[in-house]
Amino acid sequence: MDRMVVVGGHQLNGTVSTSGAKNAALPILFATLLAEGEHVFKNVPRLKDIDSTAELLESLGCKTQWDSDYFRVKVGKAPSLEAHYDIVRKMRASILCLGPLLAKYGEAVVSMPGGCAIGTRPIDLHLDGMRALGAEIELQEGYVKAKAKKLKGATFVFETTTVGGTENLLMAACLAEGTTILENAAKEPEIVDLANYLIAMGAKISGHGTSVIRIEGVERLFPSEYKIMPDRIEAGTLVIAGAITGGEVTVNQMVPEHIESLTHKMMDAGFKFQIGKDSVTVFKNQGWKAVDMTTNPYPLFPTDLQAQYMALMAVSQGTSVITETVFENRFMHVQELMRLGADITPKTRVAVVRGRPGMLKGAPVMATDLRASASLVLAGLVASGETLVSRIYHLDRGYEKLENKLSALGAHVRRVSE
């Protein structure tokens, strides 16, 4: 297994581009199951999770292929309708094949995803939504067995805002008979990107990006082409990488409004920014204040940037309170940051961070989940001495060549095999 060696104390300066959004590419690649033929995508990031999605699509009878900067998915006439545990266990987002298979073929057998480090992450709302559209759902031997002669449009209210649940229902409703209204739907930009691709395939959708999405079912969808949106979580991570080292970094090929909750929070802490059309520049800052933060669904502060923000607060001037409202156990990075000398008191869903500039010292630490691993690399950039981050396969799930991007900005980061 690879490790990341980070030598702290080097200021990051310069310009870096984000890759395509993992959390938009995953649902969009599963949406291809709704239409036979060849779909062509640009700006798909080269990540482990994309490889896992390709593996699952191939196990369902599709053909996937990188063709220079294009990623092609060929969907066959009668794919297999079973998503096996050995693939689903590697990536929870595999559950997103349920809606498309059910809508297109009237049947799907998908392994339950199982929990993960940041929480139990149930799929009850996905299944309740499919039942509302007329599907019969059974849970047997760890599999979701779903059947529906023809899904029927309905109104479904999500009792909890769920990104994956909204995506699964949005895809299923496209081929249902009649109109579907999704209420308390997630408003994340990745939902909008998925809806835009479904519309390019011929779906009739309105309200995407708001909490009420309306879908008029159609008879058939057709393969199309699409460019995946920029990854807002990577963009935010790179902004914090520049900021935490006191450097001036421009992150481009991104959508500034997608990370407005982060830039505004950092402005409260004393950072200065230049906001461009498709870029954000954070300016040099030798000291910043501690500012409380609470994670919430979009457009408020994203849970996927909580760990990275905590690293920034660990070396701020003062005490901040960080509240995680989306997942019940997303503080796995706290113990590891404390190994670097951070002064943090974790409680249930709340962490008190007593920040002090220059207080982090390099040490061996262990990544526990995707965003926690990013947080440890960021802390390593500013810790004195060497930080060794192990289990960085977590990082490779969601960041394309992060060490290359950081090194190009002046970081001393290298990957070593254990």
Q: Given the rule CB under 6 A, which residues bind ligand EPZ?
A: 23, 26, 93, 119, 121-126, 160, 162-165, 303-304, 326-327, 370-371, 398
Distance CA 56, CA 96 (A): 11
Q: In the complex with ligand EPZ, which residue's Cβ is closer, 155 or 317? A: 155
Element (H, E) at 335: helix 332-339
- 31 torsion bin: left (phi>0), alpha (psi -120 to 50), beta (else): alpha
Q: In the complex with ligand EPZ, which residue's Cβ is closer, 371 or 405? A: 371
Q: What is the CA radius of gyration of the chain?
A: 21
What's the min distance (Å) between Cβ of 13 and ligand EPZ?
27
What's the min distance (Å) between Cβ of 303 and ligand EPZ?
5
Do the Cβ atoms of 172 and 149 come closer than 8 Å? Answer: no
Distance CA 369, CA 398 (A): 10
What's the min distance (Å) between Cβ of 389 and ligand EPZ?
17
Structure-token match 């992060």, residue found: 402
Helix axes 124-132, 98-105, angle to 10 degrees: 20
Q: In the complex with ligand EPZ, which residue's Cβ is closer, 290 or 395? A: 395
Is 116 catalytic? The answer is: yes
Q: In the complex with ligand EPZ, which residue's Cβ is closer, 303 or 387? A: 303
Do the Cβ atoms of 304 and 233 come closer than 8 Å? Answer: yes
Select from 356, 298, 381, 293 the least CA-distant residue to 330.
293
Q: In the complex with ligand EPZ, which residue's Cβ is closer, 250 or 306? A: 306
What's the min distance (Å) between Cβ of 298 and ligand EPZ?
7
What's the min distance (Å) between Cβ of 232 and ligand EPZ?
11
Q: In the complex with ligand EPZ, which residue's Cβ is closer, 163 or 344? A: 163
Extract the runs of DSSP E, i.e. beta strands, from 91-203.
Answer: 107-111, 136-140, 143-147, 155-157, 179-183
Distance CA 252, CA 23 (A): 19
Q: Which residue is nearest to ligand EPZ (CB)?
A: 164
Residue of 62, 97, 116, 174 with catalytic role: 116
What's the min distance (Å) between Cβ of 77 and ligand EPZ?
28
Distance CA 11, CA 242 (A): 8
For residue 263, give every residue at least 6 positions away whose Cβ sits within 8 Å of its Cβ, in sequence order, or none.
Answer: 239, 256, 271, 273, 275, 280
Catalytic annotation, residues: 116
